């Protein structure tokens, strides 16, 4: 598979909770930051999209009666909190980082401008994309697929709580079978819930490969970014 030059790492908001049940565990962000630092040292350009589910889930709130657009904008603000937490963890260990927000928040981040994002990456800075796409009705998975296309990333890495893609939920079914590889179309037609259909279609249409792996295994982010075969590889 070889080492990549420019990648996009999608981290779920839930992953940042650790064992806390809510919010952000600084020990988790520090460990993630250390692995990203090693990848940057090896010459890989790293962009990140972080979810917001550890703080607020717009879709969940909308099912309980909240206006969907309002709920999604609240979720975008949650992703900004997580983006700032990741920026802090990275900069504390010497990794130059920029947060670019799809919603203008000039006091705490730069506005998202594609050319600016690419230039930061070229200079060796880690770029964190906050506030999703800036639009309601789109998930942070879709934001990851969109930004990966815009910056010409070679691959999207989706760090999750399980070690790949299974034919059913391995947390509830001990007989679940893990896939070594899949096509984008199989991911969609099997409804495997790796990411929502909008994000999956965007990856398929633009031929962006996707690697799904566990964040819980120490060193996995660095292994994935530097090209080691782990998790489930999705392409084609």
DSSP string, 113-130: -HHHHHHHHHTT-EEEEE
Q: Is 67 annotated as a binding residue?
A: no
Bridge partners of residue 188, in order along the sequence: none
CA dihedral 233, 72, 22, 51 (to 10 degrees): 30
Q: Is 140 annotated as a binding residue?
A: yes
Q: Is 137 annotated as a binding residue?
A: yes
Q: Is 197 annotated as a binding residue?
A: no
Q: Is 62 annotated as a binding residue?
A: no
Cα–Cα distance for residue pair 108/87, rounded to 1 Å: 11
Q: Is 139 annotated as a binding residue?
A: yes
Q: Is 169 annotated as a binding residue?
A: yes
Q: Is 116 annotated as a binding residue?
A: no
Q: Is 136 annotated as a binding residue?
A: yes
Q: Is 138 annotated as a binding residue?
A: yes
Q: Is 134 annotated as a binding residue?
A: yes
Identify the sign of the CA torsion 189, 129, 81, 18. positive
Cα–Cα distance for residue pair 94/90, rounded to 1 Å: 7
Q: Is 26 annotated as a binding residue?
A: no
Q: Is 18 annotated as a binding residue?
A: no
Q: Is 166 annotated as a binding residue?
A: yes
Cα–Cα distance for residue pair 8/5, rounded to 1 Å: 10
Q: Is 167 annotated as a binding residue?
A: no
Q: Is 174 annotated as a binding residue?
A: no
Q: Is 10 annotated as a binding residue?
A: yes
Known binding residues for UMP are 52, 72, 133-140
Known binding residues are 10-13, 52-53, 57, 72, 133-140, 160, 166, 169
Known binding residues for ATP are 10-13, 53, 57, 160, 166, 169
């Amino acid at each position: 598979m070889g080492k990549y030059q420019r990648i996009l790492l999608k981290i779920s908001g839930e992953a940042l909770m650790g064992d806390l049940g809510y919010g952000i565990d600084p020990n988790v962000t520090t460990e993630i930051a250390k692995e990203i630092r090693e990848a940057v040292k090896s010459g890989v350009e790293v962009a990140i999209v972080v979810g917001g589910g550890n703080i607020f889930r717009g879709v969940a709130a909308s099912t309980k009666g909240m206006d969907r657009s309002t709920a999604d904008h609240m979720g975008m603000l949650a992703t900004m909190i997580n983006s700032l937490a990741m920026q802090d963890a990275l900069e504390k260990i010497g990794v130059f980082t920029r947060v670019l927000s799809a919603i203008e928040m000039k006091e705490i981040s730069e506005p998202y401008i594609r050319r600016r994002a690419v230039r930061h990456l070229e200079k060796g800075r880690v770029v964190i994309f906050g506030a999703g796409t800036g639009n309601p009705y789109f998930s942070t998975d879709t934001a990851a697929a969109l930004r990966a296309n815009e910056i010409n990333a070679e691959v999207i890495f989706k760090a999750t709580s399980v070690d790949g893609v299974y034919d059913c939920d391995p947390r509830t079914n001990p007989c679940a079978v893990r896939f070594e590889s899949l096509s984008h179309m199989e991911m969609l037609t099997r409804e495997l819930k790796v990411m929502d259909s909008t994000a999956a279609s965007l990856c398929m249409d633009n031929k962006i490969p996707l690697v799904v792996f566990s964040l819980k295994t120490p060193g996995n982010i660095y292994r994935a970014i530097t090209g080691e075969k782990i998790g489930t590889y999705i392409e084609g």
